[in-house]
Amino acid sequence: MTPGARLLKIARWFFNERFSATVVRPTIADLQSELAAAGPDRLKRLGARWRGYCAFWTLIFVSPFASWSEDRPHSGNGGVAVGAAVVTLLTVVTLGAWMVFVAAAGTLVAFLIHAWYERHPSEIAVPPDASGRSPQINFSSTDVAGNVGGLIFVVGSVLIVSVGVPSVLWFLLASTVAACFVAWGLAVRHTRARGEDWTSGGRPPRVLL
């Protein structure tokens, strides 16, 4: 097998054609040219392999943060997955092993929400002034649907924050229960006042539950 052929196969899983052509293949070509230049000397060949493999795996880890790669089509679920794994790893290393549970809980909730929307697709209610807002990590600014999918998000977020800051567990739980009652009351009031089509977006009443 040609040196680097296996790396090329791995790269196909992570990167699209453009990124492979401009970044990955030249990196592997360097490995191959160094190996060819090393000749039969085993020590030199080992050194060339080591440097080439280090370069390739560095590339795998830095590519999710390569800003110019945003315009590439199929920018790569693999890249996103690697980026998430790197961020999780760094968080675990810096904050402690308990972050593993937070990451696991977050992943579980993400799957739950995704599964819910797969079965019950609905539009997310977006405030009229939402255009032009920049993405941010701010629970109060996160758009969630007013249905069970949104409830899963809220409960999941509360659980995750509770794991991180245990002292506010009861406060968050009480707030969630109170918020559910307020939301329920508002929904009933709007339904009675405006009939079945009670949202500005014309959301059917069945999406509440």
Partner 1 sequence: MLPKKELLILEMLVSAGPMYGLQLVERSDGALKRGTVYVTLGRMESKGFVESEQETLDPAAIGLPRRIYRPTAQGERMLRAWATFTREVAWEVKP
CA distances from 57 to 14, 62, 120, 178 (A): 12, 9, 40, 49
Residues 34-63 that bind partner 1 (CB under 8 A): 34, 36, 51-52, 54-59, 62-63
Give the pair of three-digit tokens for residue 72.
């590439």
Residues 64-123, interacting with partner 1 (CB under 8 A): 66-69, 71
Which residues in 127-160 are b (16+ Cβ under 10 Å) and which e? Answer: eeeeeeeeeeeeeeeeebbbbbbbbbbbbbbbbb
Q: Which stretch binds partner 1 (CB under 8 A): 26-34, 91-99, 116-124, 198-206?
A: 26-34
How many residues of this chain interact with partner 1, rule: CB under 8 A?
Answer: 32
Nearer CB in complex with partner 1: 33/175: 33
Instruction: Give 12 or 194: the residue with its C-beta nearer to partner 1.
Output: 12
CA distance 17 to 80: 17
Site residues (vs partner 1, CB under 8 A): 2-4, 19, 22-30, 32-34, 36, 51-52, 54-59, 62-63, 66-69, 71
